[in-house]
Amino acid sequence: MVQEDNEKVHRLRLEFIKKGLENKENCLYVTTQRDKGRFETELSKMGIDVKKFQKSGMLKIISLSDPFIQDEGFTASISAVWKTLPIDNTKKTRIACNVLKDITKIT
């Protein structure tokens, strides 16, 4: 049951980010290193050109194990990533997170 619930939540995160990109919204996904590649792959399978959106700055996928998070701490790192998103007051920004249980380890 727990695994099934985890998969449902994962699918919801994928759909949430996909919909945001389709609506030309900025999207930030924070995850663990092991899930980062899986998330990119699954977005691609859903028809999202992950590299294109990452290059444009509309999609940021970061991992808790990225060196800058380890050096700066979670809150400072998220703030720094947030500042790199394209500024456009007409756009919403979507944030999905798959790391809440791990945040206390590095903050």
Over residues 29-57, the pLDDT tens digits come to: 888 766 788 889 999 999 999 999 999 88
Tokens of 18: 């996909």
Tokens of 92: 């919403």
pLDDT digits (tens, 9 = 90+) for 54-88: 998 889 888 766 655 555 655 555 666 666 666 56
- Are 81 and 62 in contact by the 8 Å Cβ rule? The answer is yes
Confidence of residue 97 (pLDDT cuts 50, 70, 90): confident
Provide the whole-model pTM.
0.69
